[in-house]
Structures are given as C-alpha cells and as structure tokens.
Structure 1
C-alpha cells in the first residue's frame, strides 16, 4: 500500500493554508496553491491535496511543455481526465485561473497617468498578455503622460508580428497623441527582447527624435509578466527622447 501524508497530518507550519496566511501566496509552490483549491486529495495511491496538485502538474507537463503555461488555457475535460480530479475540483481550478486573468487584465480608465512600466503593462494586458499570436500595440498619451487610449497595429503568427515605424507614428499622429509607449507580446512567455525587437526600438527612438514625439518605452508582455526595454537596455541613453 502506498502511503501519502495527509495535509491534516502535517505540522501546522507546513500546511498550505497556514503558510499562505503567515507568509503570503507568493511563498507557496504551485502544487500547494492547487492544493488549497482542491481542498482534498485522492487519485493514484490516495494522494494528499499537495500530492494531487503535484500529480496534476506532472500530467499536464508529460509532453515536456511548461505545466504553468498549460494551466492558463486548460479545459474542463483536460482536468477531469486526470485521475482524482472531478468536476468540483476542476471548476474550482478554472474559476481561480479566470479570476486571476481578470484581475491581471483589468484596464485602468482613460486619463490615468502612466508613470511606471507596470501601469502601462496593466493597460495593455487585456490585448496582449494571453494571446496565442504576437500583437503589436500602441499606448497613446498626452503631454502629461495621461492615457488617451490604445491601438492594435498588427497581428502576426505564433512567433512573429510585423510593425513598421511609419505605420506606428502615423497612428500616433492620427490619434493626436503627444507621447507614446509601444508594446508587443511573446506567446512563448519569454519576455527577453530579440535582435529584431532591439532593431525596431532603435528605429522608433530615432523617429521619435525626428518627429518630436517621445517614445517613452517598449514593453514585452507574456505569461503574466513583462519587461521594459527602457529599464533593461541602454537605448534611451543612446537616443534621448526629451520626455
């Protein structure tokens, strides 16, 4: 007989709920977060809730893909096909995932001052964060960095999108914006800039200098996170924007 430690058999300081209450959700492993949603365990070998959470991640990642990325778009059937996961457990997981997406993609209202890359990413998250194809977007601002709106410039394939400085600045000017932030997503979840991203950013910064329309940042979004090229590269020192 396989023995699996129950959550109630764990010391209080090691139980997922108690650890979350003491140290916060960020301190928990993904399997422990799932355990809180599952409530109880079972499945092969009468697993504990934490063990069942680990088993779910293992089953989702059997084809070597990232199980966290797969959870983002997992279906009710994919979950209930896993031994030990019935409709109640599956719907709890799906509800939590959807709630997380909605919180993350809640868009600040027009007029919000965009003074931090995280705020800009929040504005664009709904359009870019969870898309299966690359999208290129513009965040339009007035002279005081207040949000005027956003525009999707292009939609590409699963691995690339096409955007030209001419089309980008044409839309900025057409919308009457005085400042702009550009952004695109990486469906892979890797937010490191590619050589093509760097090249396009250089072109946009040069165009911003020429037209007198400062480009404040270029963001890359994916898999719940983002990167600011202004913060992580020296391009804005090479091409000052006077913003």
Structure 2
C-alpha cells in the first residue's frame, strides 16, 4: 500500500493541527499525529508533514510488520535510517511515544487506589503491556486497596515464564502488603488464560487463604488490552478471599 497518494487532496482547513483543534486528537490518523510532531516535512522527496508521516509508517511497515507495533519499541538509530528523519525528528517521535506510555501508566507512590481491573492494568502497563518476553508481576496493596508498589517477580522467554507461589508471597510479606493483585503478559496478544495460568491462580488463591492475604485478581496483559481472570472464571467463588 502506498501512503503518499492523497496528500495533495488535503485542503487548508483540514490540515492536522486544524483538525485536532476542531475535532480532537482521536479523529486524526496516525500519520497526521506524526505530522504534528514533525512540523514541515523535509527529505523523502520533499513531502509535506503528513506525507512524511505516512512515509515513516510505510517504512516501518515493511516485511508485513504492523507499523504501530514497531513504533512502540523503535530506536533513534532505526528512525534515522528513514530518509528525511534526522536527530531532531527522531527525538521528537521518541519523546512522544515515551510520554504516551507514561500517561497510560499510573505511577506507584501516589497512593493510587486500585479499585478496578482497568486501573490495575494501567498501573502495570509500563512493566508488562508491550514487553517481548513474558513477565510476571505483583501489585502490592494496603488494607484500603491503595498502591504500595509494584514488583516484577520473574522474566521468562517469549512464550513462557515461571512464577513460583513462594516467590510471590515472599515479596508480598517482605513489602508489608496486606492484599495483592498478580499479573503477567502474553507477548502474542492472545489474552486467553492457559491451563497453566488457571492452575497457578488456583494455587495462589489457596496460599492467600492460608496466609490471610487476599488475592484480588490475576490479570493478563498484551497488545494494549487486558483480561481479568476474576471476571471470566469461577476461581474466586471456589476460593473466597474475604476481601
């Protein structure tokens, strides 16, 4: 697919900045968002800013790759290999990507109250959401479900990780938490729990009952989405946590 065909068709009042001001950022295409970051396009045949944004997506999408997936972890060196992208434009793009990640991620230490799976997933996004390897992490909470901190317990391969219950609860006790939420990522983006995920959750629920430290949920994150095992399984009915 060629990304540079309709640039000349854009009228003055439909340029990216004007469209954002009139309609909000959500209506803009990815190329238009990049165009706002870059300003006036140079190089790559002297394209307009939108044309350059589309050209960047085209280059990142080579070999049937998803441009946005590549963009999330792209380096400055990779960006500067694209004709028309120098240090200034590369750093602007990377800064915007990092700012977006941080805005999506709730920072520990702000006494965030974890009152839903969505809030828990957002809090763990930076540690888990876009990682290429499976990671297993825990959210450490106080009696009022306020965030005490997060901890990555184990890092596995691209397809599997191990999280022994004793390691998880050791960290919970060491940090003085009174409740916890566990989570891991599926780099494939498939959020369906595996039989191993279900069995580990069952073991953790039993351990939580014995220790008197309620396990509130087990989340699976990947590719911008999440799944709550508490919402889709009957495990918490089988092992009530008294939370």
Write the distance in 1 (CA, Å) between the matches of 2:87 and 2:152: 38
Q: How many residues align?
A: 240
Q: Which residue of 2 aligns with 1:99?
A: 99
Once the two structures are superposed, residues 31-62 of structure 1 have per-residue CA deviations (whole angstroms, 9 ceiling, x without a partner) of: 12112112233554543322322221121121
Displacement after TM superposition at 1:174 (Å): 4.0
TM-score, normalising length from structure 1? 0.82
Structure 2 unaligned segments of length 5 or more: list them. Answer: none
* Counterpart mapping for 1:119-198 below 5 A: 119-198=119-198
TM-score, normalising length from structure 2? 0.82
Q: Secondary structure at the match of 1:63?
A: helix
Q: Secondary structure at the match of 1:41?
A: coil
Q: Which residue of 2 aligns with 1:57?
A: 57
Distance 1:232 1:39, change over 3 A: farther
Contact 2:140-2:147 within 8 A present in 1 as well: yes
Write the distance in 2 (CA, Å) between the matches of 1:11 and 1:237: 59
* Counterpart mapping for 1:73-88 below 5 A: 73-88=73-88
Contact 2:38-2:49 within 8 A present in 1 as well: yes
Superposed CA RMSD in Å reads 2.8
Write the distance in 2 (CA, Å) between the matches of 1:220 and 1:3: 40
Contact 2:108-2:150 within 8 A present in 1 as well: no
Contact 1:128-1:221 within 8 A present in 2 as well: yes
Structure 1 unaligned segments of length 5 or more: list them. Answer: none
Contact 2:16-2:32 within 8 A present in 1 as well: yes
